[in-house]
């Protein structure tokens, strides 16, 4: 049977923090090996990453160690923001096949690519899941998803963009004994485990839905034959005062995931940021390419809607496996969530515990969250994206 454990330290002394978490996870496993471990740390430790990793590897000896720096870290029952934090999450499961890799960006002219794709084992009946942590300054994210789709079609990708660094070269990515500043670190997971993903988007739809009738890549020129800025102004005028305030602080655009649905609601859209508007033309620019014929709806960031969406998704997961909770969870929450957004500490991790019980949870506040929606892998914003580890035995048909 699989075992997971998590240890958290808020000690500002990096060596002491590393000793505490590594010994804690080691002692929890007893005689069992640690087959896979994840480490997440706040920017307070950026100058001490080498000694952190050396201590963890010496005390715990994980067969594969993966991790990164985050603006805040998540561990156990806590979301640690703006304070020193080190989280170590370990898993013991000798039946799970783990393939580690590091993808490095390469530029040829105006084109970017990623090199270093691993040799994966032959195809098996069970699906493959990729856990990915990426540097925001050097990673061509569209190329990353295209690579996953090409080399491992049908696979899910989950993870996040490293955060806490303020400039190029300040990210820290961990793969075993290596500390990288660029590219992507990850593992391909397959066999011996049931992996499920949850992606909760924290926005509420407003106004009407519109069909894109004219567009140039990410610049929407017409919605139902009308300039999109005019559609937006009409939508905003219909809002009450509190909703207008929310729109001023976080207006988003939702792209419908399934054009054939009879009804649309929260969670049926891929949420993208509104980048800007051109008043003379009435055009709107958004943070993704869209096509003519796609349906969009304006959204606003809303703490209540975000909490309700996360609760609904976790409740659905709980109903699916009422007598068999996951053994562990990795959680990647947007650095735009947290206490400032919800006005309460530890919101996302508390929601998981409320529905799943007291599980070993670890993660970090990301600069973008990776997760599948509608069968495709995307980079999201303002989401809580997580992977749940279940015993495989209970789910075999």
- Asked whether the beta carbons of 212 and 220 are under 8 A apart, the reply is yes
Residue 394 has what DSSP assignment? G
Whole-Å CA distances, 73 to 133, 134, 293, 314, 363: 14, 16, 41, 21, 6
Q: How far apart are CA 196 and CA 330, in angstroms?
A: 11
Q: Residue 122: its pLDDT value, please? A: 72
Instruction: Report the SS3 class of residue 311.
Output: helix
Q: Residue 266: its pLDDT value, please? A: 55
Instruction: Specify the pTM.
Output: 0.91
Helices 14-29/49-60 angle, 10° precision: 20
The reply to whether 94 and 208 lie within a common domain is no
The reply to whether 27 and 41 lie within a common domain is yes
Q: Residue 298: its pLDDT value, please? A: 94
Q: Residue 260: its pLDDT value, please? A: 66
- Asked whether the beta carbons of 38 and 176 are under 8 A apart, the reply is no
- With a cut of 50, say whether residue 397 has pLDDT above it: no
User: Count of domains in the chain?
Assistant: 2
Q: Residue 248: its pLDDT value, please? A: 81
Instruction: Report the SS3 class of residue 37.
Output: strand
Q: How far apart are CA 155 and CA 98, in angstroms?
A: 14
State both tokens at 79: 């979301």
Give residue 330's pLDDT band: very low, low, confident or very high (50, 70, 90): very high
Residue of 62 and 271 predicted with greater confidence: 62
Q: Residue 137: its pLDDT value, please? A: 93
Mark which of 275, 300, 325 sits at the end of a domain.
Answer: 300
Give residue 396's pLDDT band: very low, low, confident or very high (50, 70, 90): very low
The reply to whether 221 and 194 lie within a common domain is no
**162-196 burial, b for 16+ CB within 10 Å, e for fewer?**
bbbbeeeeebbbbbeeebbebbbbbbbbbbbbbbb
Can you name the residues that pair with 209 across neighbouring β-strands?
297
- Asked whether the beta carbons of 370 and 157 are under 8 A apart, the reply is yes
What share of the chain has pLDDT > 70, as a percent?
Answer: 96
Can you name the residues that pair with 371 across neighbouring β-strands?
378
Can you name the residues that pair with 195 across neighbouring β-strands?
389
The reply to whether 163 and 240 lie within a common domain is no
The reply to whether 193 and 212 lie within a common domain is no
The reply to whether 180 and 223 lie within a common domain is no
Mark which of 300, 333, 358 sits at the end of a domain.
Answer: 300
- Asked whether the beta carbons of 155 and 148 are under 8 A apart, the reply is yes
Domain region containing 69: 3-200+306-395
Residue of 51 and 257 predicted with greater confidence: 51
User: Tokens 């490293």 identify what position?
Assistant: 162
- With a cut of 90, say whether residue 130 has pLDDT above it: yes
- With a cut of 90, say whether residue 253 has pLDDT above it: yes
The reply to whether 85 and 145 lie within a common domain is yes
Q: Residue 80: its pLDDT value, please? A: 98
- With a cut of 90, say whether residue 112 has pLDDT above it: no
Q: 245, 237, 258: which is closest to 302 by C-alpha?
A: 245
Q: Residue 264: its pLDDT value, please? A: 66
Q: Residue 123: its pLDDT value, please? A: 64
Dump pLDDT digits (tens) for 192-243: 999 999 999 878 889 999 999 999 999 999 999 999 999 999 999 999 888 8
Give residue 394's pLDDT band: very low, low, confident or very high (50, 70, 90): very low
Q: How far apart are CA 97 and CA 99, in angstroms?
A: 7
Give residue 267's pLDDT band: very low, low, confident or very high (50, 70, 90): low
Find the helix or strand (DSSP H, E) in which 301 lies. strand 295-301
Dump pLDDT digits (tens) for 352-387: 999 999 999 999 999 999 999 888 999 998 899 999
- Asked whether the beta carbons of 51 and 95 are under 8 A apart, the reply is no
- β-strands 219-223, 203-216: how paired? antiparallel
The reply to whether 57 and 119 lie within a common domain is yes
Total residue length of the chain: 397
The reply to whether 181 and 247 lie within a common domain is no
The reply to whether 151 and 12 lie within a common domain is yes
Give residue 161's pLDDT band: very low, low, confident or very high (50, 70, 90): very high
Q: Taking residues 105-110, what's their average pLDDT? A: 82
Q: How far apart are CA 30 and CA 44, in angstroms?
A: 31
The reply to whether 212 and 258 lie within a common domain is yes
- With a cut of 50, say whether residue 155 has pLDDT above it: yes
Q: How far apart are CA 133 and CA 183, in angstroms?
A: 9
Q: Taking residues 138-165, what's their average pLDDT? A: 94
Q: How far apart are CA 62 and CA 91, in angstroms?
A: 9
Q: How far apart are CA 129 and CA 190, in angstroms?
A: 7
Whole-Å CA distances, 358 to 10, 88, 137, 268, 326: 20, 16, 36, 30, 10
Quote the distance between the C-alpha of residue 338 and its chain's center.
14
Q: Taking residues 241-267, what's their average pLDDT? A: 77
Q: How far apart are CA 245 and CA 372, in angstroms?
A: 31
The reply to whether 188 and 311 lie within a common domain is yes
Average pLDDT score, the chain: 92
Q: In what order do the strands lie in the sheet with 65-69?
A: 3-9, 86-92, 36-41, 65-69, 173-175, 178-180
Q: How far apart are CA 63 and CA 32, in angstroms?
A: 12
Q: How far apart are CA 113 and CA 104, in angstroms?
A: 8
Dump pLDDT digits (tens) for 281-315: 999 999 889 999 999 999 988 888 899 999 999 99
Dump pLDDT digits (tens) for 76-93: 999 999 999 999 999 999
Mark which of 271, 300, 329 sits at the end of a domain.
Answer: 300
């Amino acid at each position: 049977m699989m075992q997971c454990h998590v240890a958290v330290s808020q000690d500002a002394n990096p060596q002491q923090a590393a000793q505490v978490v590594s010994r804690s996870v080691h002692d929890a496993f007893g005689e069992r090996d640690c087959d896979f471990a994840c480490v997440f740390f706040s920017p307070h430790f950026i100058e001490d990453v080498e000694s952190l990793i050396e201590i963890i590897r010496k005390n715990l000896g994980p067969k594969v160690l993966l991790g990164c720096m985050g603006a805040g870290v998540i561990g156990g029952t806590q979301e640690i923001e703006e304070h020193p934090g080190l989280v170590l999450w370990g898993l013991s499961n000798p039946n799970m096949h783990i393939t580690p890799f590091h993808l490095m960006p390469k530029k040829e002219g105006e084109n970017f690519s990623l090199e270093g794709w691993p040799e994966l084992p032959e195809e098996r009946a069970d699906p493959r899941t990729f856990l990915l942590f990426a540097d925001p300054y050097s990673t061509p994210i569209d190329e990353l998803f295209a690579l996953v789709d090409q080399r491992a079609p049908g696979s899910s990708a989950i993870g996040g963009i490293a955060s806490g660094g303020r400039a190029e070269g300040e990210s820290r990515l961990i793969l075993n004994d290596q500390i990288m500043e660029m590219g992507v670190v990850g593992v391909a997971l397959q066999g011996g485990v049931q992996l499920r993903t949850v992606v909760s988007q924290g926005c509420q739809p407003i106004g009407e839905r519109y069909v894109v009738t004219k567009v140039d890549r990410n610049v929407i020129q017409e919605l139902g034959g009308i300039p999109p800025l005019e559609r937006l102004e009409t939508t905003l005028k219909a809002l009450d005062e509190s909703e207008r305030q929310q729109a001023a602080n976080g207006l988003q655009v939702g792209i419908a995931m399934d054009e054939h649905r009879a009804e649309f609601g929260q969670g049926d859209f891929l949420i993208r940021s509104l980048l800007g508007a051109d008043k003379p033309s009435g055009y709107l620019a958004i943070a993704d390419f869209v096509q003519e014929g796609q349906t969009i709806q304006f959204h606003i960031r809303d703490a209540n809607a975000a909490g309700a969406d996360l609760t609904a998704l976790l409740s659905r997961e709980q109903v699916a496996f009422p007598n068999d909770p996951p053994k562990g969870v990795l959680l990647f929450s947007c650095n735009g969530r947290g206490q400032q957004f919800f006005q309460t500490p530890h919101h996302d991790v508390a929601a998981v515990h409320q529905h799943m019980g007291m599980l070993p949870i670890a993660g970090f506040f990301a600069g973008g969250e990776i997760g599948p929606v509608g069968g495709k892998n995307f980079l999201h914003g303002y989401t809580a994206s997580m992977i749940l580890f279940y015993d495989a035995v209970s789910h075999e048909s």
